[in-house]
Amino acid sequence: MANHLYQNDLPDGLSLGPIVAIDCETMGLNPHRDRLCLIQMSGGDGECHLVQIRPGQTEAPNLCAMLEDPAVLKLFHFGRFDIAALYNRFGALAAPVYCTKIASKLVRTFTDRHGLKTLLQDMVGVDISKHQQQSDWGAETLTDAQLDYAASDVLYLHQLKNAFDALLAREGRMDMAQACFSFLPTRAKLDLAGWPDIDIFAH
C-alpha cells in the first residue's frame, strides 16, 4: 500500500478506474463555514491518492471531471456529507454514486451501528484506527499518521461494497438501494440549500 499526495488537483492523465472510493477531510461539519482540506481516493488496488486543497481554492479540473464522469461510480461512506462538501467547494456534483452507510441501513436492520470502523470489522475483517479523526486537517503540512488515517477510509470501500451487494441482493433490496443512491446528490444539494434537518416527504 502506498499514499500519493498531490497539491490542488489530481495529476493529468491519472485514471483510478471505473469505481473510485472517495472521502473528504474538512475543518468541521458545516460546509458553508468549514473548509474542505483533503480529498482521498482509491481505485481499490491498495493505492491511495490524496489531494490537498488550498484555502480559497474553487477549481480542480481533473478531480471535477472524474466526479462528473457518468462512466465512473463514486463510492462513499456517508456520501451525503462528502458530495455536499465537494459540490459546495467546486460546483461539481458527484454522480453516479454508491453509499455504504445507506446500504448498511437497508440490510443491517438488526443494529444501529453503521459507522465505517464497525462495518469494516464486521464485514471485511479489517480494523482501522480513528485516532486522527479530529486532528487539524487545515495544517499546511500533514503528518504521515494523518495521511495513513485518511487512506484507511477509502482503501477498503470496494471490499465493503462487494459485501453489501451480496446482502442487498439476498434481501431483495438492491433496486431500493439504487434509487436511494440516485437521490443522494439531490439530498446533498438540499442540505446546502437550507433543508438539512427537514423531511420534505413528511406531511
pLDDT digits (tens, 9 = 90+) for 27-76: 999 999 999 999 999 999 999 999 999 999 999 999 999 999 999 999 99
SS3 category, 91: coil
Structural domains present in the chain: 2-193 (3.30.420.10)
pLDDT digits (tens, 9 = 90+) for 18-31: 999 999 999 999 99
Could you list the beta-strand ranges (E) of 94-194: 97-99
CA angle at 107 for the pair 160 and 203, rounded to the nearest 5°? 125
The pLDDT confidence band at residue 164, using thresholds 50, 70 and 90, is: very high
Q: How many helices (H) and strands (E) does the chain have?
A: 7, 6
Percent pLDDT > 90 in the chain is 96
CB 77 within 8 A of CB 153: yes
What is the rounded CA–CA span in Å between residue 5 and residue 150?
11
pLDDT digits (tens, 9 = 90+) for 87-143: 999 999 999 999 999 999 999 999 999 999 999 999 999 998 766 667 899 999 999
Please compute the mean of the pLDDT values over residues 166-190 and round it to a whole number: 98
Q: Which residues touch 103 (CB under 8 Å, ≥6 apart)?
A: 161, 164, 167, 168, 177
Instruction: Provide the grid cell at 64.
Output: 471535477
CA angle at 31 for the pair 30 and 34, rounded to the nearest 5°? 70
